[in-house]
Structure 1
Amino acid sequence: MKQNKYDNAAFFEQYSMMPRSISGLSAAGEWHELKAMLPELKGKRVLDLGCGFGWHCRYARDQQASSVTGVDISANMLNKAREMTDDPQIKYLQQAIEDVDFENEQFDVVISSLALHYVESFDETVQKVYAMLSAEGTFIFSLEHPVFTALAAQDWHYDDKGEIMHWPVDHYHAEGLRETSFLGNDVMKYHRTAATYMNTLIRAGFEIKQIAEPKPSEEMLSTTAGMKDELRRPIFLMIAAQKRR
Protein backbone atom coordinates (compact mmCIF):
# COMPACT_ATOMS: atom_id res chain seq x y z
CA MET A 1 0.00 0.00 0.00
CA LYS A 2 1.49 3.33 -1.10
CA GLN A 3 0.10 6.11 1.06
CA ASN A 4 0.18 9.77 0.21
CA LYS A 5 -1.59 11.59 3.00
CA TYR A 6 0.62 14.63 2.54
CA ASP A 7 -1.09 15.71 -0.67
CA ASN A 8 -4.31 16.10 1.27
CA ALA A 9 -4.46 19.86 1.83
CA ALA A 10 -5.81 19.78 5.39
CA PHE A 11 -3.39 17.08 6.52
CA PHE A 12 -0.43 18.84 4.94
CA GLU A 13 -1.38 22.12 6.61
CA GLN A 14 -1.36 20.42 10.01
CA TYR A 15 1.92 18.68 9.28
CA SER A 16 3.48 21.97 8.21
CA MET A 17 2.75 23.43 11.65
CA MET A 18 4.74 20.76 13.52
CA PRO A 19 7.99 22.00 15.13
CA ARG A 20 10.20 19.78 12.97
CA SER A 21 8.42 21.06 9.86
CA ILE A 22 9.11 24.66 10.85
CA SER A 23 12.57 24.43 12.41
CA GLY A 24 13.91 21.33 10.69
CA LEU A 25 16.60 19.09 12.13
CA SER A 26 17.14 21.20 15.23
CA ALA A 27 13.56 20.42 16.32
CA ALA A 28 13.85 16.67 15.69
CA GLY A 29 14.44 14.97 19.03
CA GLU A 30 16.41 12.13 17.45
CA TRP A 31 18.63 14.20 15.16
CA HIS A 32 21.58 14.59 17.54
CA GLU A 33 21.99 10.80 17.60
CA LEU A 34 21.18 10.16 13.94
CA LYS A 35 23.77 12.75 12.89
CA ALA A 36 26.42 10.93 14.90
CA MET A 37 25.65 7.70 13.02
CA LEU A 38 26.22 9.19 9.58
CA PRO A 39 29.48 8.42 7.79
CA GLU A 40 31.77 11.03 6.29
CA LEU A 41 29.66 12.62 3.55
CA LYS A 42 32.30 14.66 1.76
CA GLY A 43 32.47 13.63 -1.88
CA LYS A 44 29.71 11.02 -1.46
CA ARG A 45 26.68 10.38 -3.66
CA VAL A 46 23.69 10.43 -1.31
CA LEU A 47 20.10 9.18 -1.66
CA ASP A 48 17.36 10.17 0.79
CA LEU A 49 14.30 7.90 0.75
CA GLY A 50 11.21 9.74 1.95
CA CYS A 51 13.01 13.09 1.92
CA GLY A 52 10.04 15.26 2.92
CA PHE A 53 11.06 18.92 3.07
CA GLY A 54 14.64 18.00 2.14
CA TRP A 55 16.28 18.75 5.49
CA HIS A 56 18.66 15.78 5.30
CA CYS A 57 19.40 16.46 1.63
CA ARG A 58 20.55 19.99 2.39
CA TYR A 59 22.53 18.80 5.40
CA ALA A 60 24.37 16.29 3.20
CA ARG A 61 25.37 19.06 0.80
CA ASP A 62 26.45 21.23 3.72
CA GLN A 63 28.80 18.34 4.54
CA GLN A 64 30.11 18.52 0.95
CA ALA A 65 28.37 15.49 -0.51
CA SER A 66 29.06 15.52 -4.25
CA SER A 67 25.41 14.98 -5.19
CA VAL A 68 22.13 14.31 -3.40
CA THR A 69 18.88 12.77 -4.63
CA GLY A 70 15.73 13.09 -2.55
CA VAL A 71 12.75 10.85 -3.24
CA ASP A 72 9.25 11.37 -1.89
CA ILE A 73 5.75 10.31 -2.93
CA SER A 74 4.23 13.70 -2.06
CA ALA A 75 4.11 16.60 -4.50
CA ASN A 76 3.42 18.96 -1.58
CA MET A 77 6.52 17.76 0.24
CA LEU A 78 8.70 18.15 -2.82
CA ASN A 79 7.31 21.58 -3.71
CA LYS A 80 8.28 22.75 -0.23
CA ALA A 81 11.69 21.08 -0.51
CA ARG A 82 12.37 22.83 -3.82
CA GLU A 83 11.30 26.19 -2.37
CA MET A 84 13.85 25.75 0.42
CA THR A 85 16.66 24.49 -1.81
CA ASP A 86 19.01 26.54 -3.98
CA ASP A 87 21.55 23.95 -5.03
CA PRO A 88 21.89 22.33 -8.46
CA GLN A 89 23.54 19.28 -6.90
CA ILE A 90 20.31 18.36 -5.09
CA LYS A 91 17.69 16.63 -7.23
CA TYR A 92 14.18 15.80 -6.04
CA LEU A 93 12.07 13.00 -7.56
CA GLN A 94 8.40 12.29 -6.91
CA GLN A 95 8.24 8.56 -6.41
CA ALA A 96 7.12 6.03 -3.83
CA ILE A 97 9.94 4.32 -1.95
CA GLU A 98 8.59 1.00 -3.21
CA ASP A 99 9.07 2.14 -6.83
CA VAL A 100 12.65 3.41 -6.73
CA ASP A 101 14.73 1.97 -9.54
CA PHE A 102 18.28 3.27 -9.68
CA GLU A 103 21.36 1.76 -11.24
CA ASN A 104 23.55 -0.66 -9.31
CA GLU A 105 26.16 1.08 -7.15
CA GLN A 106 24.76 4.53 -8.02
CA PHE A 107 25.04 5.82 -4.43
CA ASP A 108 27.56 5.70 -1.59
CA VAL A 109 25.13 6.57 1.21
CA VAL A 110 21.38 5.93 1.53
CA ILE A 111 19.46 7.73 4.27
CA SER A 112 15.84 7.31 5.30
CA SER A 113 14.20 9.18 8.16
CA LEU A 114 10.89 8.01 9.67
CA ALA A 115 9.56 6.61 6.40
CA LEU A 116 10.18 2.87 6.26
CA HIS A 117 7.43 1.94 8.72
CA TYR A 118 5.02 3.04 5.95
CA VAL A 119 6.52 0.55 3.47
CA GLU A 120 4.81 -2.83 3.20
CA SER A 121 7.78 -4.80 1.89
CA PHE A 122 10.81 -3.91 3.97
CA ASP A 123 12.65 -6.93 2.60
CA GLU A 124 12.29 -5.78 -1.02
CA THR A 125 13.35 -2.24 -0.15
CA VAL A 126 16.48 -3.46 1.63
CA GLN A 127 17.45 -5.59 -1.36
CA LYS A 128 17.08 -2.58 -3.66
CA VAL A 129 19.17 -0.40 -1.36
CA TYR A 130 21.87 -3.05 -1.22
CA ALA A 131 22.04 -3.18 -5.02
CA MET A 132 22.16 0.59 -5.50
CA LEU A 133 24.95 1.08 -2.94
CA SER A 134 28.62 1.06 -3.89
CA ALA A 135 30.99 -1.40 -2.23
CA GLU A 136 31.13 -0.68 1.51
CA GLY A 137 28.34 1.87 1.07
CA THR A 138 26.26 2.83 4.09
CA PHE A 139 22.53 2.58 4.80
CA ILE A 140 21.33 4.65 7.76
CA PHE A 141 17.68 4.84 8.67
CA SER A 142 15.30 5.73 11.47
CA LEU A 143 11.77 4.47 11.98
CA GLU A 144 9.18 4.13 14.70
CA HIS A 145 10.35 1.66 17.31
CA PRO A 146 8.61 -1.74 17.39
CA VAL A 147 7.64 -1.02 21.00
CA PHE A 148 5.82 2.02 19.64
CA THR A 149 4.18 0.33 16.63
CA ALA A 150 3.08 -2.94 18.27
CA LEU A 151 -0.34 -1.55 19.21
CA ALA A 152 -2.28 0.49 16.67
CA ALA A 153 -3.47 2.91 19.37
CA GLN A 154 0.09 4.22 19.84
CA ASP A 155 -0.80 5.93 23.08
CA TRP A 156 -0.05 5.80 26.79
CA HIS A 157 -2.22 3.97 29.28
CA TYR A 158 -3.85 6.51 31.61
CA ASP A 159 -5.42 6.26 35.06
CA ASP A 160 -8.91 7.54 35.86
CA LYS A 161 -7.48 11.01 36.47
CA GLY A 162 -5.89 11.17 33.05
CA GLU A 163 -2.35 10.71 34.37
CA ILE A 164 0.11 8.57 32.41
CA MET A 165 0.62 5.14 33.95
CA HIS A 166 2.72 3.25 31.37
CA TRP A 167 3.21 2.53 27.68
CA PRO A 168 1.32 -0.67 26.74
CA VAL A 169 2.94 -3.30 24.51
CA ASP A 170 0.87 -6.17 23.12
CA HIS A 171 0.76 -8.35 20.00
CA TYR A 172 4.46 -7.63 19.55
CA HIS A 173 5.14 -10.72 17.41
CA ALA A 174 2.04 -10.24 15.23
CA GLU A 175 3.76 -8.38 12.42
CA GLY A 176 1.84 -6.54 9.74
CA LEU A 177 -0.51 -3.67 9.07
CA ARG A 178 -1.57 -1.29 11.83
CA GLU A 179 -4.36 1.25 11.25
CA THR A 180 -3.47 4.16 13.46
CA SER A 181 -4.12 7.90 13.71
CA PHE A 182 -1.78 10.81 13.04
CA LEU A 183 -2.84 14.46 13.06
CA GLY A 184 -6.46 13.34 13.24
CA ASN A 185 -6.23 11.18 10.11
CA ASP A 186 -6.25 7.42 9.61
CA VAL A 187 -2.76 6.28 8.67
CA MET A 188 -1.50 2.83 7.71
CA LYS A 189 1.80 1.66 9.20
CA TYR A 190 3.57 -1.68 9.29
CA HIS A 191 4.78 -3.24 12.51
CA ARG A 192 7.84 -5.46 12.53
CA THR A 193 9.94 -6.76 15.39
CA ALA A 194 13.42 -5.45 16.04
CA ALA A 195 14.78 -8.88 15.09
CA THR A 196 13.03 -8.71 11.72
CA TYR A 197 14.62 -5.36 10.91
CA MET A 198 18.09 -6.58 11.79
CA ASN A 199 17.86 -10.04 10.26
CA THR A 200 16.49 -8.64 7.00
CA LEU A 201 19.57 -6.44 6.70
CA ILE A 202 21.90 -9.34 7.50
CA ARG A 203 20.24 -11.65 4.97
CA ALA A 204 20.60 -8.98 2.27
CA GLY A 205 24.36 -8.84 2.86
CA PHE A 206 24.68 -5.87 5.18
CA GLU A 207 26.84 -5.69 8.27
CA ILE A 208 25.13 -3.86 11.11
CA LYS A 209 27.50 -1.22 12.43
CA GLN A 210 25.41 0.61 15.01
CA ILE A 211 21.97 0.60 16.61
CA ALA A 212 20.41 3.44 18.56
CA GLU A 213 17.20 3.94 20.51
CA PRO A 214 17.52 7.71 20.84
CA LYS A 215 16.62 9.78 23.84
CA PRO A 216 15.84 13.50 23.69
CA SER A 217 18.84 15.78 24.07
CA GLU A 218 19.45 17.46 27.41
CA GLU A 219 18.42 20.76 25.85
CA MET A 220 15.07 19.37 24.68
CA LEU A 221 14.46 17.74 28.05
CA SER A 222 14.90 21.07 29.77
CA THR A 223 12.99 23.25 27.29
CA THR A 224 10.19 21.14 25.78
CA ALA A 225 7.07 20.32 27.77
CA GLY A 226 6.33 16.62 28.17
CA MET A 227 9.68 15.55 26.76
CA LYS A 228 10.74 13.78 29.97
CA ASP A 229 8.05 11.17 29.32
CA GLU A 230 10.03 10.20 26.21
CA LEU A 231 12.57 8.61 28.57
CA ARG A 232 9.97 6.04 29.62
CA ARG A 233 9.83 4.10 26.37
CA PRO A 234 11.65 4.11 23.04
CA ILE A 235 9.86 5.89 20.21
CA PHE A 236 12.50 5.52 17.47
CA LEU A 237 14.85 2.79 16.29
CA MET A 238 17.88 3.78 14.21
CA ILE A 239 20.23 1.43 12.40
CA ALA A 240 23.46 2.02 10.48
CA ALA A 241 24.49 -0.83 8.20
CA GLN A 242 27.31 -1.24 5.70
CA LYS A 243 27.34 -3.16 2.45
CA ARG A 244 29.95 -5.89 2.46
CA ARG A 245 32.59 -5.61 -0.23
Structure 2
Amino acid sequence: MITAGRDLYDDPRFFEGYRRLRDSGAGINDAIEIPAMSRMLPPVAGAAIVDLGCGAGALAHRLADAGAAHVLAVDSSQRMLALATPHPRVRYLHADLDELTLPAHSADLVVSSLALHYVADYPGLVRRVAHWLRPDGRFIFSIEHPICTAADPMTGWRKTGEGTVWPVDDYASEGPRTQSWIIEGVEKHHRRLATLIGGLLDAGLELTGIDEPVPGPAILQSHPHLAEHLRRPPLLLLGARRRKVDPVDGAE
Protein backbone atom coordinates (compact mmCIF):
# COMPACT_ATOMS: atom_id res chain seq x y z
CA MET A 1 0.00 0.00 0.00
CA ILE A 2 1.33 3.45 -0.97
CA THR A 3 0.42 6.37 1.29
CA ALA A 4 0.74 9.72 -0.47
CA GLY A 5 1.85 12.79 1.44
CA ARG A 6 -1.56 14.44 1.45
CA ASP A 7 -3.01 11.38 3.21
CA LEU A 8 -0.03 10.34 5.30
CA TYR A 9 -0.61 12.25 8.51
CA ASP A 10 -4.27 11.22 8.59
CA ASP A 11 -3.27 7.54 8.57
CA PRO A 12 -3.81 6.54 12.24
CA ARG A 13 -0.83 4.15 12.24
CA PHE A 14 1.56 6.80 10.94
CA PHE A 15 0.04 9.58 13.02
CA GLU A 16 0.60 7.82 16.34
CA GLY A 17 4.13 6.80 15.42
CA TYR A 18 5.01 10.30 14.26
CA ARG A 19 3.60 11.86 17.40
CA ARG A 20 5.70 9.51 19.56
CA LEU A 21 8.79 10.42 17.52
CA ARG A 22 8.24 14.17 17.97
CA ASP A 23 7.45 13.79 21.67
CA SER A 24 10.65 11.79 22.20
CA GLY A 25 12.86 14.53 20.75
CA ALA A 26 14.85 11.88 18.89
CA GLY A 27 14.24 13.35 15.44
CA ILE A 28 16.06 16.07 13.52
CA ASN A 29 13.35 18.73 13.78
CA ASP A 30 14.27 20.34 17.08
CA ALA A 31 18.01 19.70 16.89
CA ILE A 32 18.78 20.60 13.26
CA GLU A 33 15.86 21.95 11.22
CA ILE A 34 14.37 24.53 13.57
CA PRO A 35 17.70 26.31 14.31
CA ALA A 36 18.58 26.33 10.59
CA MET A 37 15.17 27.75 9.66
CA SER A 38 15.49 30.42 12.35
CA ARG A 39 18.85 31.53 10.96
CA MET A 40 17.41 31.99 7.47
CA LEU A 41 14.21 33.79 8.39
CA PRO A 42 14.04 37.57 7.94
CA PRO A 43 12.55 39.83 10.64
CA VAL A 44 8.83 39.08 10.77
CA ALA A 45 7.44 41.95 12.83
CA GLY A 46 4.24 43.15 11.19
CA ALA A 47 4.46 40.58 8.38
CA ALA A 48 1.65 38.67 6.70
CA ILE A 49 2.85 35.07 6.58
CA VAL A 50 1.68 31.81 5.01
CA ASP A 51 2.91 28.52 6.52
CA LEU A 52 2.59 25.62 4.04
CA GLY A 53 2.29 22.21 5.68
CA CYS A 54 1.97 23.67 9.16
CA GLY A 55 1.28 20.41 10.99
CA ALA A 56 0.28 21.17 14.57
CA GLY A 57 1.25 24.82 14.16
CA ALA A 58 4.58 25.04 16.01
CA LEU A 59 6.30 27.22 13.38
CA ALA A 60 3.19 29.36 12.94
CA HIS A 61 3.15 30.01 16.68
CA ARG A 62 6.83 30.94 16.74
CA LEU A 63 6.33 33.41 13.91
CA ALA A 64 3.25 34.96 15.52
CA ASP A 65 5.06 35.25 18.86
CA ALA A 66 7.95 36.95 17.02
CA GLY A 67 5.59 39.73 15.96
CA ALA A 68 3.94 38.63 12.70
CA ALA A 69 0.73 40.50 12.03
CA HIS A 70 -1.02 37.29 11.08
CA VAL A 71 -0.13 33.77 9.95
CA LEU A 72 -2.24 31.61 7.66
CA ALA A 73 -1.26 28.05 8.62
CA VAL A 74 -2.22 25.47 5.98
CA ASP A 75 -2.17 21.68 6.18
CA SER A 76 -3.85 18.78 4.41
CA SER A 77 -4.15 16.69 7.59
CA GLN A 78 -7.22 17.03 9.77
CA ARG A 79 -5.50 15.02 12.49
CA MET A 80 -2.53 17.39 12.65
CA LEU A 81 -4.70 20.49 12.61
CA ALA A 82 -6.75 19.03 15.47
CA LEU A 83 -3.58 19.12 17.59
CA ALA A 84 -2.99 22.80 16.89
CA THR A 85 -3.63 25.23 19.73
CA PRO A 86 -5.34 28.57 19.07
CA HIS A 87 -3.37 31.79 18.70
CA PRO A 88 -4.94 35.22 18.17
CA ARG A 89 -2.78 35.88 15.09
CA VAL A 90 -2.85 32.40 13.54
CA ARG A 91 -5.62 31.12 11.28
CA TYR A 92 -5.63 27.44 10.38
CA LEU A 93 -6.82 26.22 7.00
CA HIS A 94 -7.39 22.63 5.88
CA ALA A 95 -6.26 22.45 2.24
CA ASP A 96 -4.13 20.44 -0.18
CA LEU A 97 -0.94 22.33 -1.09
CA ASP A 98 -1.17 21.09 -4.68
CA GLU A 99 -4.51 22.89 -5.01
CA LEU A 100 -4.16 25.89 -2.68
CA THR A 101 -4.98 29.31 -4.16
CA LEU A 102 -4.51 32.66 -2.40
CA PRO A 103 -4.85 36.30 -3.47
CA ALA A 104 -2.00 37.92 -5.39
CA HIS A 105 0.44 40.06 -3.39
CA SER A 106 -1.11 38.95 -0.08
CA ALA A 107 1.99 37.66 1.75
CA ASP A 108 5.27 39.15 2.94
CA LEU A 109 6.68 35.72 3.74
CA VAL A 110 5.82 32.14 2.77
CA VAL A 111 7.46 29.36 4.78
CA SER A 112 7.36 25.59 4.73
CA SER A 113 8.99 23.14 7.11
CA LEU A 114 9.69 19.63 5.76
CA ALA A 115 6.54 19.44 3.67
CA LEU A 116 7.35 20.16 0.02
CA HIS A 117 8.82 16.71 -0.63
CA TYR A 118 5.20 15.53 -0.39
CA VAL A 119 4.01 17.96 -3.09
CA ALA A 120 3.55 16.43 -6.53
CA ASP A 121 3.69 19.67 -8.57
CA TYR A 122 6.64 21.60 -7.19
CA PRO A 123 7.01 24.03 -10.15
CA GLY A 124 3.31 24.84 -10.02
CA LEU A 125 3.40 25.52 -6.30
CA VAL A 126 6.47 27.76 -6.61
CA ARG A 127 4.76 29.79 -9.35
CA ARG A 128 1.73 30.24 -7.11
CA VAL A 129 3.95 31.26 -4.18
CA ALA A 130 5.64 33.89 -6.36
CA HIS A 131 2.16 35.17 -7.26
CA TRP A 132 1.18 35.43 -3.59
CA LEU A 133 4.30 37.33 -2.53
CA ARG A 134 4.43 41.09 -2.31
CA PRO A 135 7.43 42.88 -3.84
CA ASP A 136 10.52 41.98 -1.78
CA GLY A 137 8.54 39.13 -0.18
CA ARG A 138 10.44 36.01 0.86
CA PHE A 139 9.95 32.28 0.38
CA ILE A 140 11.89 30.02 2.75
CA PHE A 141 11.49 26.27 3.01
CA SER A 142 13.16 23.09 4.19
CA ILE A 143 12.90 19.64 2.61
CA GLU A 144 14.65 16.31 2.85
CA HIS A 145 17.96 16.61 1.04
CA PRO A 146 17.98 15.21 -2.53
CA ILE A 147 20.84 12.94 -1.48
CA CYS A 148 18.41 11.33 0.96
CA THR A 149 15.53 10.96 -1.48
CA ALA A 150 17.49 9.78 -4.53
CA ALA A 151 17.47 5.99 -4.21
CA ASP A 152 14.32 4.23 -5.38
CA PRO A 153 13.09 2.88 -3.04
CA MET A 154 14.52 5.01 -0.24
CA THR A 155 16.22 2.24 1.71
CA GLY A 156 18.33 4.32 4.11
CA TRP A 157 21.73 3.23 5.38
CA ARG A 158 23.03 -0.01 3.90
CA LYS A 159 25.49 -2.38 5.52
CA THR A 160 28.72 -2.94 3.65
CA GLY A 161 31.63 -4.87 5.07
CA GLU A 162 32.10 -3.66 8.63
CA GLY A 163 30.26 -0.37 8.22
CA THR A 164 27.40 1.37 6.46
CA VAL A 165 26.97 3.59 3.41
CA TRP A 166 24.20 5.88 2.22
CA PRO A 167 23.24 4.95 -1.35
CA VAL A 168 23.00 7.81 -3.83
CA ASP A 169 21.47 6.08 -6.82
CA ASP A 170 18.91 7.06 -9.46
CA TYR A 171 19.65 10.72 -8.64
CA ALA A 172 18.78 12.01 -12.12
CA SER A 173 15.49 10.10 -12.25
CA GLU A 174 13.03 12.46 -10.59
CA GLY A 175 9.61 11.50 -9.31
CA PRO A 176 7.87 9.63 -6.50
CA ARG A 177 9.78 7.41 -4.12
CA THR A 178 8.56 4.99 -1.48
CA GLN A 179 10.07 4.63 1.96
CA SER A 180 9.57 2.57 5.08
CA TRP A 181 9.32 5.30 7.71
CA ILE A 182 7.09 4.54 10.70
CA ILE A 183 4.87 2.61 8.27
CA GLU A 184 5.52 0.91 4.95
CA GLY A 185 4.84 2.63 1.64
CA VAL A 186 5.35 6.31 2.53
CA GLU A 187 5.48 8.30 -0.73
CA LYS A 188 7.75 11.31 -1.23
CA HIS A 189 8.99 13.12 -4.32
CA HIS A 190 12.64 13.25 -5.33
CA ARG A 191 13.95 16.28 -7.20
CA ARG A 192 17.48 17.26 -8.15
CA LEU A 193 19.05 20.30 -6.56
CA ALA A 194 19.03 21.96 -10.01
CA THR A 195 15.29 21.40 -10.26
CA LEU A 196 14.61 22.84 -6.81
CA ILE A 197 16.66 25.99 -7.41
CA GLY A 198 15.63 26.21 -11.07
CA GLY A 199 11.97 26.21 -10.06
CA LEU A 200 12.55 29.31 -7.96
CA LEU A 201 14.41 31.11 -10.76
CA ASP A 202 11.85 30.10 -13.39
CA ALA A 203 9.11 31.63 -11.21
CA GLY A 204 10.97 34.95 -11.28
CA LEU A 205 12.37 34.71 -7.75
CA GLU A 206 15.93 35.48 -6.69
CA LEU A 207 17.87 32.95 -4.62
CA THR A 208 18.80 34.49 -1.27
CA GLY A 209 20.02 31.54 0.76
CA ILE A 210 20.95 27.88 0.80
CA ASP A 211 21.88 25.66 3.74
CA GLU A 212 22.61 21.99 4.35
CA PRO A 213 22.52 21.95 8.16
CA VAL A 214 24.19 19.25 10.22
CA PRO A 215 24.34 18.83 14.02
CA GLY A 216 26.95 20.89 15.85
CA PRO A 217 29.12 19.80 18.81
CA ALA A 218 26.64 20.92 21.48
CA ILE A 219 23.80 18.99 19.84
CA LEU A 220 25.95 15.89 19.42
CA GLN A 221 26.86 15.96 23.08
CA SER A 222 23.21 15.69 24.09
CA HIS A 223 22.06 13.69 21.02
CA PRO A 224 24.99 11.45 20.00
CA HIS A 225 22.75 9.34 17.75
CA LEU A 226 22.55 12.31 15.35
CA ALA A 227 26.25 11.91 14.42
CA GLU A 228 25.24 9.90 11.34
CA HIS A 229 23.98 13.15 9.81
CA LEU A 230 27.57 14.42 9.62
CA ARG A 231 28.15 11.79 6.93
CA ARG A 232 25.52 13.19 4.59
CA PRO A 233 23.23 16.23 4.94
CA PRO A 234 19.71 15.24 5.99
CA LEU A 235 18.08 18.52 5.01
CA LEU A 236 18.17 21.26 2.42
CA LEU A 237 16.96 24.80 3.10
CA LEU A 238 16.38 27.32 0.33
CA GLY A 239 15.48 30.99 0.52
CA ALA A 240 14.24 33.20 -2.31
CA ARG A 241 12.90 36.72 -2.80
CA ARG A 242 10.45 38.35 -5.13
CA ARG A 243 12.05 41.36 -6.79
CA LYS A 244 10.97 44.82 -5.69
CA VAL A 245 10.31 45.64 -9.36
CA ASP A 246 8.38 43.07 -11.37
CA PRO A 247 10.57 42.08 -14.35
CA VAL A 248 7.48 41.71 -16.54
CA ASP A 249 5.66 45.00 -16.10
CA GLY A 250 8.06 47.04 -13.96
CA ALA A 251 5.40 47.57 -11.31
CA GLU A 252 6.40 48.28 -7.73
Q: Name the TM tier (shorter chain).
A: over 0.9
1:140 alignment partner AA: I
1:214 alignment partner AA: P
For residue 165 of structure 1, report the CA deviation from its aligned partner.
2.3
1:75 alignment partner AA: Q
Do residues 93 (structure 1) and 77 (structure 2) align? no
For residue 24 of structure 1, report the CA deviation from its aligned partner.
10
Q: Deviations over 1:69-117 (max 9, x none)?
A: 1000000100101xx33x2210000001111111001110000011111
2:101 alignment partner AA: D
Do residues 169 (structure 1) and 168 (structure 2) align? yes
2:184 is matched with 185
SS in 2 for 1:34: helix
**Which one of 41, 48, 62 corresponds to residue 38 of structure 1?**
41
1:114 alignment partner AA: L
Return 5+ residue gaps in structure 2 as ranges: 245-252
Structure 1 residues 153 and 183, CA gap change in structure 2 (3 angstroms): same
1:217 is matched with 216
2:248 is matched with none
**Alpha-carbon distance in structure 2 between the residues aligned to 1:92 and 1:230:** 33
**Alpha-carbon distance in structure 2 between the residues aligned to 1:227 and 1:18:** 14
**Alpha-carbon distance in structure 1 between the residues aligned to 2:242 and 2:34:** 23
**Alpha-carbon distance in structure 2 between the residues aligned to 1:224 and 1:74:** 30
Identical positions, percent: 37
Does structure 2 conserve the Cα–Cα contact (< 8 Å) formed by 1:15 and 1:21?
Answer: no
**Alpha-carbon distance in structure 2 between the residues aligned to 1:238 and 1:109:** 15
1:95 alignment partner AA: A
**Alpha-carbon distance in structure 2 between the residues aligned to 1:97 and 1:133:** 16
1:155 is matched with 156
2:227 is matched with 228
Does structure 1 conserve the Cα–Cα contact (< 8 Å) formed by 2:6 and 2:77?
Answer: no
SS in 2 for 1:195: helix
Does structure 1 conserve the Cα–Cα contact (< 8 Å) formed by 2:49 and 2:107?
Answer: yes
**Alpha-carbon distance in structure 2 between the residues aligned to 1:19 and 1:158:** 27
Q: Deviations over 1:144-184 (max 9, x none)?
A: 11100001224112135xx5422110111011111222102
For residue 187 of structure 1, report the CA deviation from its aligned partner.
1.0
Does structure 2 conserve the Cα–Cα contact (< 8 Å) formed by 1:71 and 1:95?
Answer: yes
SS in 2 for 1:97: coil
Cα RMSD over matched residues? 1.9
Does structure 1 conserve the Cα–Cα contact (< 8 Å) formed by 2:5 and 2:188?
Answer: no
SS in 1 for 2:74: strand
**Alpha-carbon distance in structure 2 between the residues aligned to 1:78 and 1:150:** 30
Q: What is the TM-score normalised by the length of structure 2?
A: 0.90
**Alpha-carbon distance in structure 1 between the residues aligned to 2:29 and 2:156:** 25
Q: Deviations over 1:111-150 (max 9, x none)?
A: 0011111111100000000000111100000001110000
Does structure 2 conserve the Cα–Cα contact (< 8 Å) formed by 1:158 and 1:164?
Answer: yes
Alignment of 1:48-197 (within 5 A): 48-81=51-84, 84-85=85-86, 87-151=87-151, 152-159=153-160, 164-197=163-196
Q: What is the TM-score normalised by the length of structure 1?
A: 0.92
For residue 23 of structure 1, report the CA deviation from its aligned partner.
9.7
Report the number of matched residues: 240
**Alpha-carbon distance in structure 1 between the residues aligned to 2:17 and 2:236:** 25
1:240 is matched with 239
Does structure 1 conserve the Cα–Cα contact (< 8 Å) formed by 2:76 and 2:95?
Answer: yes
Does structure 1 conserve the Cα–Cα contact (< 8 Å) formed by 2:51 and 2:74?
Answer: yes
Does structure 2 conserve the Cα–Cα contact (< 8 Å) formed by 1:3 and 1:188?
Answer: no
Structure 1 residues 95 and 118, CA gap change in structure 2 (3 angstroms): same
SS in 1 for 2:79: helix
Structure 1 residues 164 and 113, CA gap change in structure 2 (3 angstroms): farther
2:249 is matched with none
Return 5+ residue gaps in structure 1 as ranges: none
**Which one of 2, 7, 31 corresponds to residue 4 of structure 1?**
7
